[in-house]
Structure 1
């Protein structure tokens, strides 16, 4: 009998959470579900905790026993079982925190991304120089080789914007983040120019919130919204001092969808945002 995985991936844990939610909507206990599925309660619990993998057919069987009639959701859950190899980010397993690796995995599988940042340039849009300068100010301080590991990981994350079928990416960036001098003058200039260059890609949209827009609908906390294959599988990531916090409860997802919609209303259109950034470069 297979042993439970001590390090389930973020994707497998999310699959388990969604299967638990289906069971609870069916008003079944883990014991009752186990009887329906011909399994033990322990196995059901381990599947829901992401410690046991399940096949796509098994997911469909579980959904049927739980009276789930949402076929798109069932198929999206079945698709989450297909990974047989761990992602490229696993090479950083002993170097970076589990929070960072979970974020990378969720980001990698997103069908679209929307982010809103007030103080920092979004990670997927940072140049190596900007990221290196940023990591040079962490608490506690990082050693030079630790900084380089984090920079290489951040740059490798950005490959999702350049793959054959990249996800649509929308970044709402406040003027405060654009005016923050991270690194020397050349680093700042290169970062701003990079934002305008990458915003020319068809699938990348950058919208700037200028100071003159006044109050807007987020705090200083960065918000990253990752769209799943279906709406129920979306995920929000919040920047915190202790690391990335992933949120997937339906009520919170709806809240952050609304926050991002309202934040977008405070931002300049993409073309005017490019002009705004260009003027900042000229002013340096």
Structure 2
């Protein structure tokens, strides 16, 4: 397929195109950021960050801007493209993110952190902040991570299995309310027809993936890729022999995990241990 011919001279990267369109629409109106903020009821700094590409905001902001500028659906569509744009992720994740969008099934093992596909905004923010990420990059990364959840919500969503080490559920958040929300969200996710969630208890003992987070992706051509990760490094593995070695370790570990039903009971017990907010 020949490369797309550039006609408008505007960016072909969805995130940058969204920012450019917002700047264009506001300037055509002759509005300042302050006037735009007053008209829509948001802090003007939000619109500055949107136009600078520091954040993409939420769908409610895009919808409000569509109504304000008389562009029904245009800005919301550009926002949706920006949310799903793999270029918003760091370079080492880009190839993986492209494959994740193409995968027909995924299966995963978590050593200490929930998979991004199941993280709530509060969980993602606390985990990313703990790694030293600060605003505005923190907000951008949280938005990018949460946007991945849509992959499992589509009508043609791939099947997804995750096995969570007990350590994942023992490492609570500092904010007990956010931790409660995350556990409740896990229970709701496990009820989806395309999601299978299992817990690997400490009592299962050592196994071949004891220190390795891994995601497997079955692609439309039947091939399988794997992505392994730790706190400092991620590696996409596509060579078949290396993937097969990881698959054998995963299958052996899966035999040690609790059943989906018992795993749900385990999470419910964890939820019951979370302190209640006395103000509620």
TM-score range, shorter chain: 0.5 to 0.7
Deviation at 1:89, TM superposition (A): 6.1
Name structure 1 gaps, 5 residues minimum.
4-86
Counterpart residue number, 2:263: 273
Q: Deviations over 1:164-205 (max 9, x none)?
A: 111010000011011102331111111111111100001100
Residues 1:193 and 2:193 aligned together = no
Counterpart residue number, 1:220: 211
Name structure 2 gaps, 5 residues minimum.
4-80, 275-280
Q: Within 5 A, what are the aligned runs for 1:13-28?
A: none
The TM-score with structure 1 as length reference comes to 0.65
Counterpart residue number, 1:235: 225
Counterpart residue number, 1:143: 134
Is the Cα contact below 8 Å between 1:217 and 1:263 reproduced in 2?
yes
Q: Quote the Cα distance in structure 2 between the aligned partners of 1:278 and 1:116.
A: 20
Residues 1:253 and 2:246 aligned together = no
Residues 1:262 and 2:255 aligned together = no
Change in Cα spacing, 1:165 to 1:243, as seen in structure 2 (3 Å) is: same
Q: Quote the Cα distance in structure 2 between the aligned partners of 1:102 and 1:257.
A: 20
Q: Which runs of 4+ in 1 moved over 6 A?
A: none
Q: Deviations over 1:62-84 (max 9, x none)?
A: xxxxxxxxxxxxxxxxxxxxxxx
**Match among 116, 127, 131 for residue 123 of structure 1:** 116
Q: Quote the Cα distance in structure 2 between the aligned partners of 1:178 and 1:261.
A: 22
Change in Cα spacing, 1:276 to 1:137, as seen in structure 2 (3 Å) is: same
Change in Cα spacing, 1:260 to 1:88, as seen in structure 2 (3 Å) is: farther
How many pairs does the alignment contain? Answer: 196
**Match among 138, 153, 160 for residue 169 of structure 1:** 160
Q: Quote the Cα distance in structure 1 between the aligned partners of 2:143 and 2:124.
A: 9
Counterpart residue number, 2:35: none
Counterpart residue number, 1:108: 101
The TM-score with structure 2 as length reference comes to 0.66
Q: Quote the Cα distance in structure 2 between the aligned partners of 1:143 and 1:117.
A: 25
Q: Quote the Cα distance in structure 2 between the aligned partners of 1:177 and 1:240.
A: 14
Q: Quote the Cα distance in structure 2 between the aligned partners of 1:90 and 1:191.
A: 23
**Match among 87, 97, 105 for residue 90 of structure 2:** 97
Deviation at 1:88, TM superposition (A): 4.8
Q: Secondary structure at the match of 1:144?
A: coil
Change in Cα spacing, 1:229 to 1:90, as seen in structure 2 (3 Å) is: closer
